[in-house]
Amino acid sequence: ETGVTQTPRHLVMGMTNKKSLKCEQHLGHNAMYWYKQSAKKPLELMFVYNFKEQTENNSVPSRFSPECPNSSHLFLHLHTLQPEDSALYLCASSDVVIGEAFFGQGTRLTVV
């Protein structure tokens, strides 16, 4: 496999559920990102990881919890979400020298 892979592609969860989104990159990159794309808003950066260390938390509510166990994998743990958290969640990775970010296909999350 090449590129950035996200699983699952679609997820429906209740407000009391706990679930996790997974992202894997096969590009040898050392920075990984979570972005949120809602229907009415521009793409918003949520978290940034550089060499497995979190370097950015863009005022994201604690019901979203990221984890980066190594430079190839990134998770987003979800718990007690609200219906307004329904969105497309996009993972991206980049090389800190070369720069441009490559995105996965996203996870379409619906909170019911």
Partner 1 sequence: AQKVTQAQTEISVVEKEDVTLDCVYETRDTTYYLFWYKQPPSGELVFLIRRNSFDEQNEISGRYSWNFQKSTSSFNFTITASQVVDSAVYFCALSEAQQGGSEKLVFGKGTKLTVNP
Query: Contact positions toward partner 1, by CB under 8 A?
Result: 4, 31, 33, 35, 41-43, 45, 48, 50, 55-56, 88, 90, 92, 94-97, 99-106, 108
As a whole number of angstroms, the distance between CA 24 and CA 13 comes to 22
Least gap, CB of 47 to partner 1 (angstroms): 10
As a whole number of angstroms, the distance between CA 105 and CA 103 comes to 7
Q: Which is nearer to partner 1, 57 or 82 (CB)?
A: 57
Least gap, CB of 14 to partner 1 (angstroms): 23
Q: Which tokens is 33 given? A: 């990102």
Q: Which tokens is 42 given? A: 């521009």
Least gap, CB of 43 to partner 1 (angstroms): 4
What are the residues whose beta carbons fall under 8 Å from the beta carbon of 61, sequence distance 6 or more? none
